[in-house]
Amino acid sequence: MKPEKPFYIAGSSAENPPSRCMVYVDGMGGDNFREGVDIELSHWPSNRTLDQYKAGTSTEICFKFLEDKNAAPYDLVVNNHIDIDGLLSVFVMAYSSIAMYHRDILCDASKTGDFWAWSEGKALKIFQEVTLLYQRLQNQDIPLKGIYEQCFGLILHILDNPNEKSEAQTILEEQTLLIEQGQIQRHEISPRLVAYFVKDKEDRYFHMPRFNEPISTRLTFWPQVRNRLDAEKAQLVAIETEHGTHYDLWYPGYVWADTKGLWRPPGLALPKTPGEFQTLSWPELSVLMQALNDLEEKGCKWQVFPGLCFLRQDNPRDLPVVATTLASSHNHLSNLSLDKVMPLFKELFEKG
């Protein structure tokens, strides 16, 4: 099926087609952007997206643009990279009639990739299968536009066929069941803070997800599982082992992006340009880290990171963990129980 509007991938070997009005999605127009002529629909920091269109993912932004009857007409869709939100943003603008009919599915799929959000059914299947497809095609030296075209074919196929439960959904549902059965404990500490606690003799729960990583058994506790109920909360994840407890403080997975309407946690500002370091400035959190260190009896060290960076990570726990217990060995994990730690974090978040 041919798209309703042509699309172009910036940086490809093909020349940029002539256009009366280009719409740049999930990226930045850069030097080619014509003020007063072209349109930018992106959640990247420092975007030119009009406030009336801003939302969580770029895919959601594109839908808000399409439903605006007074929006400027466009004749070319442009992107400059490949990930699930970028692909879906181009798909929405290029196949707008079909996309509008499947709006919720496509928005949920985009959030699963960019924000580690919970999804199921066709949304999860699109995220999973399209991501696996483009990653495989990238290793075959196929031009980006050709990858986009094959991914669009797969999206259309999934949307047009009956829903079948995917392996990814089975994995997430099994991990959700661990919470429902109490094997992983969930504690609501305050309106914007929740704790998850699990006992584990191995290191399975320590593994961190990669950005846009397809669901697999590599992780025993995917962020998507926690985000089913707690997407707009900070999450204190406690992993108790025979040597002590490891703690991570997670901020929501969307904090790196410009996400109008979603809760912004304390102290973390958006960078001035995409990919730059996001400084974390929350002195009260640093004070709490020191108080926790004073309570420790072994070599464990609580540390708050100076910030986050989408393109590179200067902290050993990766985006979006902002504070953690660091140890030189398993023998230096925290000796503090969750019952002792939770009230201190509760006080912090109720003040913040």
Torsion angle defined by CA atoms of residues 280, 61, 145 and 164, in that order, rounded to the nearest 10 degrees: 100
Q: Which residues of 189-212 are buried (b: 16+ CB within 10 A; e: fewer)?
A: bbebbbbbbbebeeeebbeebeeb
Judged by DSSP in three states, 158 sits in helix
Query: So what's the pLDDT on residue 15?
Result: 79
Q: Count of residues for the chain? A: 352
Residue 261 has pLDDT above 70, yes or no: yes
CA proximity to 247, closest of 259, 256, 238, 234: 238
Residue 271 has pLDDT above 90, yes or no: no
Residue 331 has pLDDT above 70, yes or no: no
Say if CB 338 and CB 244 are below 8 A apart: no
Mean pLDDT across 150-173: 97
Indicate the range of 53-62, 127-136, 291-300 predicted with least confidence.
291-300
- How far is Cα 154 from Cα 171, in angstroms, rounded to an integer? 22
| Confidence tier at 111 by pLDDT (50, 70, 90) | very high
Please enumerate in sequence order all residues whose Cβ is within 8 A of that of 213, keeping only pairs 6 or more positions apart, or say none. Answer: none
Report in angstroms the alpha-carbon separations of 159 from 27, 102, 108.
25, 8, 13
- Mean of pLDDT over the chain: 93
Give the residue with greater pLDDT, 176 vs 15: 176
| Confidence tier at 247 by pLDDT (50, 70, 90) | very high
Residue 350 has pLDDT above 90, yes or no: yes
Write the single-letter amino acid at 180: E
How many other CB atoms sit within 10 Å of the CB of residue 121?
Answer: 17
- The predicted-structure confidence for 195-232, as pLDDT tens digits, reads as follows 999 998 767 888 899 999 999 999 999 999 999 999 99
DSSP tag of 295? H
| Confidence tier at 309 by pLDDT (50, 70, 90) | confident
Say if CB 196 and CB 181 are below 8 A apart: no
Say if CB 22 and CB 76 are below 8 A apart: yes
Report in angstroms the alpha-carbon separations of 332 from 44, 119, 336, 346.
39, 37, 12, 25
- How far is Cα 70 from Cα 67, in angstroms, rounded to an integer? 9
Tokens coding 314: 């200067």
Query: So what's the pLDDT on residue 328?
Result: 64
Indicate the range of 31-35, 39-43, 302-306 predicted with least confidence.
31-35
